[in-house]
Amino acid sequence: MIATIITYAIVLLFVLLWAYTSIPKFFKMKYFHDILGSQAIPKWSVPILTLLIPLLELSVVFMLLFPETRLLGLYFSFALMLIFTVYVSGIIFQVYERYPCPCGGMFKHMTWRKHLKVNIWLTGIALVGVLMMQFNLFK
């Protein structure tokens, strides 16, 4: 019973997170493109990522909403959080030649170190959700 509540809470957290991050990108696609253009990523990837990132985030929302694809959605949540965490780590450890622009939404008010801590927590929470569903701990 408690495992079921925890699993659904994790799923809800990521549904809200991915909806919160993806939907504004669709409404402000040009702005998101410009933001990506200032990031420490290859310029050729900007047009692709401008569409791919919000589509992937929104796809994960839909995966998480349906029991048949929920585990896959949690795997994607874990993978995306891991990628974003590695990227933010690169900012903190000055891996990039230039300092990327700040994130939007609630993350723009955080320092990069706090952002990294939140990402690590979210990555861990996604992993817990994957493990709980993978091993049927929630039924």
Mean pLDDT by 10 residues, the chain (139 residues): 89 97 92 86 92 96 97 98 90 67 65 88 97 79
CA distance 120 to 132: 18
Instruction: Write down the pLDDT at residue 76.
Output: 98
* Whole-structure pTM value: 0.88
Residue 74's closest CA among 86, 63, 85?
Answer: 63
pLDDT in the model for residue 75: 98
Domain boundaries, given as residue ranges, for the chain: 2-134
Residue 97 CB coordination number (10 Å): 6
Question: Residue 57: its pLDDT value, please?
Answer: 96
Scan for tokens 């919000």, then name that residue.
Answer: 54
What pLDDT, on a 0 to 100 scale, did the predictor assign at position 113?
A: 85
The pLDDT, as a whole number, for residue 106 is: 66
Token pair for residue 85? 């965490």
Are 83 and 75 in contact by the 8 Å Cβ rule? The answer is no
Query: d(Cα 4, Cα 139) in Å, to the nearest integer?
Result: 6
Residue whose token pair is 């659904």:
8
Contact 137, 131 (CB under 8 A): yes
User: What pLDDT is attached to residue 17?
Assistant: 96
